[in-house]
Amino acid sequence: MSESAVGSRQSAVPFTHHLSAHCESGVTASLITHAGLPLTEPRALGIGSGLFFVQLPMDQLMGAPSTSFRSKPGSIFAKVTRRLGVPTVVRRYRSPGAAHDDLLRLVDQGQLVALQTSVYYLEYLPRRFRFPFNAHNIIVYGRRDGRWLVSDPVLDQAAECDDESMSRARFAAGLLAPRGKAYWVERIADAAPARVGDAIAAGLRETGFMMGHSPIPFFGAKAIGYLAKRCEAWPRRFAKEPQKALLLLANVVRMQEEIGTGGAGFRYLYAAFLQDVADTYGDPAYARMSERMTAIGDTWRKFAGTAARLFRGGQATPELFAPVVAILEGLRESERALFRELNAHVRSGRKALPEESRFLPRNT
């Protein structure tokens, strides 16, 4: 642990906290907006290809659920800044002391710094959500009375965190250990606003391809079908302990809703992005895809609602699980069709982007 405290000196970067749905896209949008290029959260998610689906062939991965509705932690920030050509700094530290001193120096210089942390040690979060998950992103924008001023994008208000908890959160052990990771945007390159249109196209293409065409059955829309298959087997596999079958199903719902996805496992956020793309490009095809994405999101919510009735019942039989499995199979088909179409549409329409609207970020 760090010996030096935060100190009673005050300093704060002039910064407005915004409520976001998801930590990483929220942090990315805030950092880039603060540096001078207005960027909304749906855009950060879309450009960074944050929407994904993963189902790995095991029940749990070091105690964590093996289902994910998102791409690899850290990739949204990396892809957004790369696609926009924004120079960044990413640092990891060997010791909490060095990480603390560097943060202190940066904050006093007026730099907005994002950190990778473990939710387990962030005491301002609700108690029941503080499970050991190591890839939560927050922004530190100042210090006051020996405490860090924290903007946690998933909460509606800014928070404070004491130094000891912060050090622990930054140096938590286990899966995806943050190792003190701190990152920030250096400046916005002059060419960045002009690259927004191409960056959006790159983000759309990658998501469309990975979701619709992934050759590996554990990734993309195919993996939803794979999850359906696994889900169908749980009541039989755990015939003697229905609680275990329900726990595995609950883990899927938790990844979809609880961890801060904006609802329906990022599907609503992505629909918001597609709506934005329709306006930016002036292409109504994206507006129609946005509506289909919303319908898919509603189906995911229906899946969660149906599963919740099973949790309350406490029983797990193949008959009870059948409706849940059927919804997942339907989702596999609708997502696969939509993302294939999205990929094909972006590829065919790349040269036809209207020049003037490419430079204007909307609703900032």
By the criterion CB under 8 A, which residues form the site for another protein? 19-21, 26, 41-42, 62-63, 125-129, 131-132, 153-157, 172-174, 243, 246-247, 250-251, 253-254, 257-258, 260, 262-264, 268-269, 271-272, 275-276, 294, 297-298, 301, 304-305, 307-308, 311-312
* Alpha-carbon torsion, ordered 279, 282, 286, 291, to 10 deg: 50
CB nearer to another protein: give 42 or 197.
42
Could you tell me which of 119, 111, 27 has the C-alpha nearest to residue 76? 27
| Minimum CB distance to another protein, residue 132 (Å) | 6
| Minimum CB distance to another protein, residue 1 (Å) | 8
Say how far apart CA 362 and CA 276 lie, in whole Å: 7
Say how far apart CA 307 and CA 76 lie, in whole Å: 30
CB nearer to another protein: give 49 or 165.
165
Scanning the structure block, which residue is given the tokens 């998933």?
Answer: 154
Q: Do 221 and 213 meet the contact criterion of CB atoms below 8 Å apart?
A: no
CB nearer to another protein: give 220 or 297.
297
CB nearer to another protein: give 13 or 271.
271
Could you tell me which of 4, 83, 99, 1 has the C-alpha nearest to residue 48? 83
Question: Any bridge partners for residue 183, and if so which?
Answer: 90, 114
| Minimum CB distance to another protein, residue 291 (Å) | 9
Structure tokens at 54: 């993963």
CB nearer to another protein: give 210 or 264.
264
CB nearer to another protein: give 80 or 304.
304
Q: Do 154 and 23 meet the contact criterion of CB atoms below 8 Å apart?
A: yes
Q: Do 147 and 165 meet the contact criterion of CB atoms below 8 Å apart?
A: no
CB nearer to another protein: give 20 or 214.
20
| Minimum CB distance to another protein, residue 339 (Å) | 19
Burial class (CB in 10 A: 0-12, 13-18, 19+), 24: buried
Say how far apart CA 187 and CA 47 lie, in whole Å: 18
| Minimum CB distance to another protein, residue 340 (Å) | 23
| Minimum CB distance to another protein, residue 27 (Å) | 13
| Minimum CB distance to another protein, residue 322 (Å) | 19
